[in-house]
Amino acid sequence: MRDVAVIGVGMAKWGELWDKALRDVFVETALLAIDDAGVDHIDSMYVGCMSSGLFVGQEHLASLLADYLGIAPVPAARVETACASGGLAFRQGWMEVALGQSDIVLVSGIEKMTDVTGDGATYALGTAADQEYEGYHGITFPGLYAMMARRHMHDYGTTREQLAQVAVKNHRHGAMNPLAQFPFEVTIDQVKSSVMIADPLRILDCSPITDGAAAVVICPLDRAKTLGDKPPVKMVGSGHATDTIALHARPDITWLSATERAAEAAYKMAGVKPDQIDLAEVHDCFTIAEICVTEALGFVDRGKGGQAVESGFTALGGTIPVNTSGGLKSKGHPVGATGVAQIVELTKQLRGDAGDRQVEGARVGLAQNMGGSGGSTLVHILEAT
């Protein structure tokens, strides 16, 4: 297999993009990545998207988006695995380049979620849960993650304040990200007094509904050195795993088994251990999710995720800064785009281009993107060259 590098990244402002169609959001972001890469053509394209049919009534994105980008008849494919669609699209693009099937591949993720009512968005997102055994009985994702939070609090002594500190930290990071949907800080008291959604989770524990896209261009590492004027970032590890889609079918609802297994595969491929990761972008769809993910990734011991955020271990300046972009909580969560946006942030950090939120001396970064309540997970490890 060939070594693969990220050579271009693109992302525009995320939020409620009322004046832009899905195709326009995609093309704007894709062109930013192509320009950043300094390439004049694309051999292949992957698009991560969870539910464009339910959000905007549009399927068959591969043909539509290749056409509007002006690259047809280049082969293109849409990739879906709920909120991990972007992460899987990146893995598919990486595999295509690594196997020598294509040299220059565009990987994008996109979702336009605000063109439907709140009930419509809730329904669309709910399709990532078990429809017969969860959705039919009225459970929503805030409810599922609330049960995970309550059990974590019961088993490990995780506190309501520690949950709030995840939101506070990520908004502090996001306040330094001009592309974030909510680039402002919040306080612990604001989180704890915000509207209750599903006890113990309040609205400031939850990621928002978002419109947005992210894109990267990848190619063989040896060719990357002849393209553009920015240092390539090498892809060194990738892992993919699944778990039961229904939360009730797991032996421990606080443990993200798919994340653990995907991370083990990525660490093995990269030849690194958790304590060698300099920063991470993880799937904080709810504050409890980040706590559980940091444990499953091996950054901290089981049950210690709440204490880690409380101590500053996962903040900028800490041992392993987590979600320097602001994460899903502050940056936003257009579900199909999130996994690719994580790669965008890692690439900027490993290039040394992250501005005020730059992690000093960053050499190795990890991205963890998961679908549903952890039923599917992608973990990628990137390294500066």
- Cis omega (within 30 of 0) on the bond before 231? no
**Other beta carbons within 10 Å of 1:** 9
Paired with 110 in beta bridges are 213
Q: Are 4 and 172 in contact (CB under 8 A)?
A: no
Q: What are the catalytic residues?
A: 83, 333
Q: Are 93 and 107 in contact (CB under 8 A)?
A: yes
Cα 321 → chain centroid = 15
Q: Are 113 and 50 in contact (CB under 8 A)?
A: no
Residues 6+ away with beta carbon under 8 Å from 288: 145, 146, 148, 149, 152, 158, 163, 201, 205
Paired with 107 in beta bridges are 46, 216
Q: Are 178 and 13 in contact (CB under 8 A)?
A: yes
Q: Residue 167 and residue 193: Cα distance in Å, rounded?
A: 13
- Which of these, 350, 297, 349, lies nearest to 325 by C-alpha position? 349
Q: Residue 92 and residue 102: Cα distance in Å, rounded?
A: 12
User: Position of tokens 């880690």?
Assistant: 308
Q: Residue 159 and residue 153: Cα distance in Å, rounded?
A: 6
Residues 6+ away with beta carbon under 8 Å from 159: 153, 306
Q: Are 214 and 366 in contact (CB under 8 A)?
A: no
Residue length of the chain = 385
Q: Are 11 and 213 in contact (CB under 8 A)?
A: yes
User: Position of tokens 């959001």?
Assistant: 25
